Amino acid sequence: MFKSRSLFHIAIVSGLLMACGGGNDEQVVNVYTHRHYEADNELYRKFTDETGIRVNVINANADELIQRLQSEGPNSPADVLITVDGGRLNRAMDKGLLQAVESEVLNANVPAEFREPGGHWYGMTYRARIIVHATDRVKPGEIKNYEDLADPKWKGKVLVRSSEHVYNQSLTASMLLADGEEKTAAWAKGLVANFARDPKGNDRDQVKAIAAGEGDIAIVNSYYIGLMLHSENVEEKKAAESITLVFPNQDNRGTHVNISAAGVTKYAPNRENAVKFLEFLSGATAQEVFAGTNFEYPVNPTVPLSETLVSWGTFKKDNANVSEIGRLNDQAVIIMEDAGWK
Amino acid sequence: MEVTAPRLDCSVIKNRLKKRYIWWNGWVFAAVLLLLVVCTPVFTLLTHLVSSPGTHWDQVGPKILDSYLKDTLILLVGVAFFTFLLGTSSAWLVSSYEFPGRKYLEWLLILPMAFPSYMMAYSYIGILEYTGPVHSFLRNSLGWEITGPLIDLMNLPGGIFIFSITLFPYVYLFARTSFVSSSREIQDAAALLGASPVRTFFSVALPMARPALAGGIALASMEVLNDYGTVKYFGLNTFTTGIFRAWLTLGDLDSAIKLAAILTTLVLALLWMEYYQRGNKRWSSKSGRTVPPHRICPSKPVQWVFTGVCLLIVLLGFLFPFSQLVYWAIKTAHKVIDASFGMIVVKSFSLAAGSSVLIVFMAIVLLYAVRVSGMHGMRYVTRIASLGYAIPGAVIAVGIMAPVIGFDKWLLRVAPLDGKLLLSSGLFMLLFAYLVRFMAVGYNAIDTGFQKAGKDINDASRMLGFNTWHTLWKVDLPLIRKSIAAALLSVFVDVIKELPLTLILRPFNFHTLATKAFDMATNEQIAESANASLIVILTGILPVVLLNRIIRKSH
């Protein structure tokens, strides 16, 4: 059993360990990010090697990070906020948590469609919210638009994750922008009526459910398909190979995309480092890592797509204004709740 | 050498006692201060509660009856029933019958406790899902045509299963202690008078274990209410997901706090009901003799049935999910394990060690104040400190952030520290939150120790002229050292497993094993998360085994 002395030692040692890692005057950039991919950690290391600036990171859900920034106010240690969805950064901007940044490098690397006009945030990557269906059970061309998913003929066939997820909220908000409130509400109701099961699990689970025959059609993010196709689990690979990808709405507004974007916080204590960090992320080296290891689309047009992405072909993006989509988020949540989309 | 004790007559004793047990002293002062600190988050929430109605309350409000309350109650009732069933039956088998493998099963049955329920959920989904080993085997090797999942766990019954299988050891431990110690003699008497084992169980052992069982079920229920990982993954609408949704998705803190307040009221009502129905039905063995356990030896086939039942529970609650994690961990170790992973392990362990010492120290201060104040009501007042266990982590996080950051800002105005937030940027908030959340764990263990030790020796020491410090150090602490060890271990494991608070309040670059595992799992890298999960679970096993030995030794 523990003796009081050994307890005392544990207390001292742990105290010392906690005290470590604080204090000198080295250059840092403090990042609040919703992205938690191993590829990102590799990028942070590269950035430190190139510039000598250390990257400090907190990963959490974007909403939590925004909440935290808000309560910390002018004394927040954060320099950069990164989210996986442009709408969330817009929410942060509306709350006055971001500052405008002017940078020639950023303007050259990030096309205008992927950045906030005032320079409050810059897109880093984007992912398409695509429809996938069982290759053998749905004929090619039967589904072309998001709107088609509400067609009663797909009753009991449609799979999608919970409405709590920001990807679905943004998709619904983009529908609101394109089709208006009434149509979107009807669409959401029709979609819910077609559900094969109550929404649960993550995007990969929806693909697996198609393979298992629980449903035929699912809404997922493109990069998960890339990750599944390169999975070490043979069964997961097979599941991803048994489906067909549809980039929706090619004949009209284009496929909805989530922009993973970064902005400099209003009270960033290391503003210059933060700008350097964004410039690095939008540069060729970093963008290749995004495209190569995580199967996201790089915003920087000079960077070649990875082989998998090339094999999917090019597609038309929905170029709807991200700020407006962000502002419609609350309304989208209400519509989804009213429709009974769990 | 001859020792002459000072001769004391009655009036001197009375005077000394009067002087010693004044109601207000340093200890009581410290305890009251501590209570105020621990209650800060609750105060914060209460002030928000009366301040303004939330902007999204119109949406959140109707959902309470519709789904939050319904799902939460179904989950609670289901988990209460099944933890009771699993815990009591297995405890009765291992404490009353002899059967092959009993000695091993006895402690194997505690192991599911080491699993945080969300890790149990990930691992079960991994086993049963389409790409998992069972489904693939049936399809590929046996050529079965299966459409849909084998067993769909991602729903309310699935949630009840996951929680019951992880949390039943709470009931099992309490029940076993009651069966082998407090009610042993009366069971023996019943047997002597000719009652069958079944009758003894229903009319003696079970009623006598009721307070213990209720305690175990109450603990399990609170774990359910605090859970975020499992219900989120399974898509269940409980109060906790409702709180997260209102607070983070709708950005409406006030509605979130209202939900939290309703949830807290629900918990308090449950606790009060438990307390009230128990009344003064408390039994304990008055003789204090320890009776060597003599177990009934049923016929061979029956023995094997008992072995089978216990083994099945152990397989479902531990061996299956554990093997899945081990398999994943080995497969992904080359990708995951590196120096930074090592740092995460070191940080998790130091954090858990530091906070368990802090919490147990505070619990001792609180309870020692009760002891030396001589005030009857003090014990009830200090109980408030353990309420944090009933409040979900997410709610505590909201309640702590606001006052701590507020204090920091005030500090900056008074004394500018080159513009840095002093307390909210480090580990302080996290330690504070752990203190609020896990005080109950330390408090209960220490309280049991003090109760068992009795007050006589303390009184004697004080009468012989030692002051409170000296008495604490020389008399009370050595007396309750087993309880201190138990308290340290329990808090340690709880901190290692803790998720929602750590997620929200941790400082820069700070990952614990739990947050790392959750991060990877939410990023759809469940296999990669297995290494971190495995360390959490193995850490959890160690104290569980030690705890079991303590319980066995004390009999």
Which tokens hold the place of B237? Answer: 């609408």
- Per-residue confidence band for A10, with pLDDT thresholds at 50, 70 and 90: very low
Residue pLDDT, tens place only, B329-341: 998 888 878 888 8
**H or E, element range at B434:** helix B428-453
Beta bridge partners of residue A246, listed in sequence order: A131
| Set of chain B residues whose Cβ sits within 8 Å of the Cβ of A220 | none
Task: Residue window 170-189, chain A: list those with CB within 8 Å of chain B.
Answer: none
What is the pLDDT, as a whole number, of residue A20? 41
- Per-residue confidence band for A11, with pLDDT thresholds at 50, 70 and 90: very low
The minimum CA-CA distance between A102 and chain B, rounded to whole Å, is 25
The minimum CA-CA distance between A14 and chain B, rounded to whole Å, is 5
What is the pLDDT, as a whole number, of residue A273? 94
CB–CB contact B129 A337 (8 Å): no
The minimum CA-CA distance between B188 and chain A, rounded to whole Å, is 33
Nearest by CB to A67, which of B248, B346, B349?
B248
Indicate if A128-256+319-339 has the same CATH topology as A26-126+257-311.
Answer: yes
The minimum CA-CA distance between B484 and chain A, rounded to whole Å, is 9
For residue B394, give the nearest of B247, B237, B234 by alpha carbon. B247
Task: Residue window 279-318, chain A: list those with CB within 8 Å of chain B.
Answer: none
Please determine, for residue A4, whether its predicted confidence score (pLDDT) is greater than 90.
no
CB–CB contact A77 B427 (8 Å): no
User: May I ask the CATH class of domain A128-256+319-339?
Assistant: alpha beta
| Set of chain A residues whose Cβ sits within 8 Å of the Cβ of B248 | 61, 63-64, 67
For residue B357, give the nearest of A6, A21, A22 by alpha carbon. A6
**H or E, element range at A33:** strand A28-33
| Set of chain B residues whose Cβ sits within 8 Å of the Cβ of A198 | 154-155, 235
| Set of chain B residues whose Cβ sits within 8 Å of the Cβ of A337 | 59, 63
What is the pLDDT, as a whole number, of residue A1? 38
- Per-residue confidence band for A173, with pLDDT thresholds at 50, 70 and 90: very high
**Sequence spans of domains, chain A:** 26-126+257-311, 128-256+319-339
Report the C-alpha gap between A123 and A106 in whole angstroms. Answer: 10
CB–CB contact A7 B357 (8 Å): yes
Point out the least confidently predicted range of A122-131, A221-230, B363-372, B428-437: B363-372
Residue pLDDT, tens place only, A35-56: 877 778 888 999 999 999 999 9
- What separation in angstroms does the CA of B405 have from each of A213, A267, B73, B399, B424? 51, 16, 35, 11, 6
What is the pLDDT, as a whole number, of residue B418? 60
ipTM: 0.70
For residue A89, give the nearest of A307, A278, A289, A313 by alpha carbon. A278
**H or E, element range at A219:** strand A217-221
| Set of chain A residues whose Cβ sits within 8 Å of the Cβ of B245 | 164
CB–CB contact B503 A71 (8 Å): no
What is the pLDDT, as a whole number, of residue B206? 84
Residue A295 Ramachandran class (φ > 0 left, ψ -120 to 50 alpha, else beta): left
Average pLDDT over residues A55-59: 87
A198 touches chain B (CB under 8 A): yes
Residue of A17, A68, A166, A168 for testing the chain B interface, max B β-carbons within 10 Å: A17
| Set of chain A residues whose Cβ sits within 8 Å of the Cβ of B149 | 209, 212, 214
What is the pLDDT, as a whole number, of residue B467? 78
Task: Residue window 236-255, chain A: list those with CB within 8 Å of chain B.
Answer: 236, 238-239
Nearest by CB to A36, which of B125, B347, B523?
B523
CB–CB contact A198 B354 (8 Å): no
For residue A121, give the nearest of A326, A330, A328 by alpha carbon. A326
Q: Quick one: closest CA in B to A31, which residue?
A: B508
Which tokens hold the place of B504? Answer: 């929200």
Q: What is the pLDDT along chain B (555 residues), one digit of tens a residue?
A: 444 445 556 666 666 555 555 555 778 888 888 888 888 887 777 776 666 666 667 766 676 667 788 888 899 999 999 999 999 999 999 988 889 999 889 889 989 988 889 899 989 988 888 778 888 888 877 777 766 667 788 889 999 999 999 999 989 988 888 887 766 777 778 888 888 878 888 888 888 888 788 888 888 888 888 888 888 888 788 888 888 777 776 767 777 777 877 777 777 777 777 777 666 555 544 444 555 567 788 888 999 999 999 999 999 999 999 999 999 999 888 887 888 889 899 999 999 999 999 999 999 988 888 877 766 677 777 777 777 877 778 778 878 877 887 787 787 777 766 656 667 667 888 999 999 999 988 888 888 888 777 777 777 877 787 777 788 888 888 888 888 888 888 888 889 988 888 887 887 668 899 988 888 887 777 888 899 999 999 988 877 777 667 666 655
- How many residue contacts between A and B have a Cβ separation below 8 Å? 155
- Whether residue A226 contacts residue A295, with contact meaning beta carbons closer than 8 Å, is answered with yes
The minimum CA-CA distance between A165 and chain B, rounded to whole Å, is 9
A25 touches chain B (CB under 8 A): no
The minimum CA-CA distance between B527 and chain A, rounded to whole Å, is 9
Average pLDDT over residues A109-126: 90
CB–CB contact A224 B524 (8 Å): yes
CB–CB contact A342 B235 (8 Å): yes
Report the C-alpha gap between B70 and B290 in whole angstroms. Answer: 46
CATH superfamily of A26-126+257-311: Periplasmic binding protein-like II (3.40.190.10)
CB–CB contact B488 A7 (8 Å): yes
From first CA to last CA, the distance across chain A in angstroms is 50
CB–CB contact A205 B129 (8 Å): yes
CB–CB contact B149 A214 (8 Å): yes
- Whether residue A161 contacts residue A297, with contact meaning beta carbons closer than 8 Å, is answered with no
For residue A289, give the nearest of A300, A275, A277 by alpha carbon. A300
- What separation in angstroms does the CA of A38 have from each of A35, A59, A86, B39, B226? 9, 12, 21, 39, 29
For residue A150, give the nearest of A110, A126, A117, A186 by alpha carbon. A186
CB–CB contact A333 B249 (8 Å): yes
A294 DSSP 8-state letter: S
The SS3 call for residue B371 is helix
CB–CB contact A162 B234 (8 Å): no
The minimum CA-CA distance between B229 and chain A, rounded to whole Å, is 12
Average pLDDT value over all residues in chain A: 86
Beta bridge partners of residue A133, listed in sequence order: A217, A244
